[in-house]
């Protein structure tokens, strides 16, 4: 198991209340030994004018998952700060929910790298992303 801190899914969702994350309907749904998942609805809050999931929302889902995953892998006296996010959109998400799954590629003392894959409800890969994180000591 990679986690240094434990938070239930309910705690993860509560932690994000009153933020952009909850406003967009992003919800943490599953956690395994080395991954974290969340969903975002495809609705009026998250689509672009053509009715497809907005690419910026996919990026928000990716950064949300990678950042919380990184936080759960930090020591108590550390915080993660995102330094780079890239995302490639492979297939449009038109309805239902998009599901993101974050897994670490690298968990170092001063940096982390997370791979976040985004799927539609048919389990088709719709986007791939990578988040680089700097691990800082709390002041």
Q: Which residues are catalytic?
A: 63
Of 2, 24, 5, 4, residue with least CA distance to 13: 24
Query: Which positions ≥6 away from 79 have C-beta within 8 Å?
Result: 71, 135, 136, 138
Distance CA 89, CA 107 (A): 25
Q: Tell me the CA distances in angstroms from 23 to 16, 95, 122, one per residue in order.
A: 9, 18, 25
DSSP, res 92: -
Output the CA torsion 98→101→102→103 (10° steps). Answer: -160
């Amino acid at each position: 198991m990679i986690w240094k801190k434990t938070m239930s899914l309910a705690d993860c969702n509560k932690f994000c209340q009153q933020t952009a994350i909850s406003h967009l309907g992003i919800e943490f749904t599953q956690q395994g030994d080395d991954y974290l998942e969340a969903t975002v609805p495809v609705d009026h809050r998250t689509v672009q004018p053509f009715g497809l999931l907005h690419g910026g929302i996919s990026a928000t889902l990716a950064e949300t998952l990678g950042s919380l995953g990184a936080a759960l892998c930090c020591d108590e006296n550390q915080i993660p700060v995102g330094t780079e996010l890239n995302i490639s959109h492979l297939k449009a998400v038109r309805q239902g929910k998009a599901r993101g799954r974050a897994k670490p590629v690298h968990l170092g003392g001063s940096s982390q790298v997370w791979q976040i894959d985004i799927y539609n409800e048919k389990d088709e890969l719709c986007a791939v992303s990578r988040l680089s994180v700097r691990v800082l000591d709390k002041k």
